[in-house]
Amino acid sequence: MGSPSEVAADSVRRGHAVARIGSQDTVSVGELEDRIEALGPEQRRSLGGSANAMRRGYLMNVVVREKLLLRAAQERKLDSDPAVLFAIDRVLAKARVRALRGELTLPSSVTTDDMQAYYAEHQDRFNAPERYLLWRILCKSRDEAHDVLSAAQQEPTAAKFAELARDHSLDKATRLRSGNLGFLTPDGLSIEPGLTVSPSVVHAAAAVKDGQFVPSPVPEGDYWSVVWRRSFLPAIHRSLDEAEPQIRDAVKTTKLKSRTDQILAALRGSKVRDENAALLETLSTPGVR
Q: Is 49 helix (H, G, I), strand (E, B) or coil?
A: coil
On whether residue 118 sits in a domain, the answer given is yes
Q: Between 1 and 106, whose confidence is greater?
A: 106
User: Above 90 in pLDDT, residue 181?
Assistant: yes
**What's the whole-model pTM score?**
0.56
| Count: domains in the chain | 3
The residue out of 234, 249, 280 marking a domain boundary is 234
What does the alpha-carbon distance between residue 188 and residue 133 come to, in Å, rounded to a whole number? 11
DSSP bridge partners of 272? none
Are 57 and 146 part of one and the same domain?
Answer: no
Q: Look at residues 106, 105, 113 and name the one whose alpha carbon lies nearest to residue 240.
A: 113
Range of the domain at 99: 81-127+237-260
Are 9 and 73 part of one and the same domain?
Answer: yes
On whether residue 268 sits in a domain, the answer given is no
- Could you tell me how many helices (H) and strands (E) the chain has, helices first? 12, 8
pLDDT tens profile 16-47: 988 888 877 889 999 888 988 888 888 888 87
Q: Is 112 exposed, middle or buried (0-12, 13-18, 19+ CB in 10 A)?
A: exposed
Instruction: Give the CA distances from residue 148 to residues 4, 159, 199, in Å, rounded to whole numbers and listed in that order.
Output: 96, 14, 21
Instruction: Give the CA distances from residue 215 to residues 135, 156, 183, 188, in Å, rounded to whole numbers and listed in that order.
Output: 14, 13, 20, 19
- CA triple 191-193-194, angle to 5 deg: 120
On whether residue 281 sits in a domain, the answer given is no
On whether residue 269 sits in a domain, the answer given is no
pLDDT at 48: 74
What does the alpha-carbon distance between residue 147 and residue 21 come to, in Å, rounded to a whole number? 89
Are 228 and 241 part of one and the same domain?
Answer: no
Instruction: Give the CA distances from residue 19 to residues 64, 220, 266, 284, in Å, rounded to whole numbers and listed in that order.
Output: 8, 87, 42, 48
The residue out of 60, 78, 96 marking a domain boundary is 78
Residue type, position 234, single letter = P
Are 143 and 224 part of one and the same domain?
Answer: yes
Instruction: Give the CA distances from residue 202 to residues 131, 134, 168, in Å, rounded to whole numbers and listed in that order.
Output: 9, 8, 20
pLDDT tens profile 86-133: 998 999 999 998 998 888 888 788 999 999 999 999 998 899 899 999
